[in-house]
Amino acid sequence: MMILMDSLSTHTDYGTVPLSAGDLDPDPIAQFARWLGEADAGGFAEPNAMVLGTIDDDGMPSSRTVLLRRVRAEGLEFFTNYDSRKGRALAGHPVATAVFPWYGQQRQVIVTGSVTRLDAESSDAYFASRPRDSQIASAASRQSQPIESRELLEQRIEELALAYPEGTAVPRPANWGGFLLSPIRIEFWKGRSSRVHDRFVYDRHAEGWGITRLQP
């Protein structure tokens, strides 16, 4: 067996700043919004980037990075092509997990729950708010499908740009829109020295949210 690379020996000491139950908001969505705001204020690139995990029709997991676009009391909103791999996965298995890796602040959040499509009005409103070039790119791309060359994709984009010149509204494609991830479980992780990390998980119950400390 040829070993191409051994495990990396890099070790980061995450320090001694603790996370205790008293630091947490009783509402995990409010706590998440607080940490997201602090990640944004910390100057991290794409603090709203999340690794979205779904289940394909064959039962295999798949993951990719998408951008969180809105946080509301009911959960987290993101947008995509419904015919993409993740869109098809969510149609067949409407559950997902989202990981937010803010390691520059020794923090991580994992959100798990059910996923539903947003209504057409919400998707229309968000699509209309996007830059025109992003609108055209979304309309041109058959996301997750094979293509012979980048030049062919760029040709489609040019054709749509001519079809919808500056000042003309680009209609939202029927197969593009939003999803809402409604959490049933949210875990907050804070890195500590010697890998003795602080972990707290919120679980949704009929009477509200419960909080439990987990071992690292």
- The boundaries of the domain holding residue 49 are 21-214
Q: How far is CA 112 from the centre of its chain?
A: 11
Distance CA 130, CA 76 (A): 18
130 annotated as belonging to a binding site for a ligand: yes
Structural domain contains residue 13 = no
Q: Is 195 a catalytic residue?
A: yes
Per residue of the chain (216 residues), give pLDDT as tens: 788 887 777 778 888 999 999 999 999 999 999 999 999 999 999 999 999 999 999 999 999 999 999 999 999 999 999 999 999 999 999 999 999 999 999 999 999 999 999 999 999 999 999 999 999 999 999 999 999 999 999 999 999 999 999 999 999 999 999 999 999 999 999 999 999 999 999 999 999 999 999 999
Report the half-sphere exposure of 71 (CA within 13 A, side-chain side). 15
Q: Which of 132, 195, 204, 213 is catalytic?
A: 195
66 annotated as belonging to a binding site for a ligand: yes
Q: Which residue has the tokens 């607080």?
A: 34
Structural domain contains residue 117 = yes
114 annotated as belonging to a binding site for a ligand: no
- Per DSSP bridges, beta strands 61-67 and 70-72 are unpaired
150 annotated as belonging to a binding site for a ligand: no
Residue 25 sits in a domain whose CATH number is: 2.30.110.10
Radius of gyration of the chain (CA): 20
Structural domain contains residue 2 = no
126 annotated as belonging to a binding site for a ligand: yes
Structural domain contains residue 189 = yes
Domain count, the chain: 1
Structural domain contains residue 93 = yes
Structural domain contains residue 49 = yes
Look up the pTM and report it: 0.93
67 annotated as belonging to a binding site for a ligand: yes
Output the pLDDT for position 5: 82
Output the pLDDT for position 197: 97
Structural domain contains residue 3 = no
Question: Cβ distance 29 to 70 under 8 Å?
Answer: no
Structural domain contains residue 9 = no
Output the pLDDT for position 15: 87
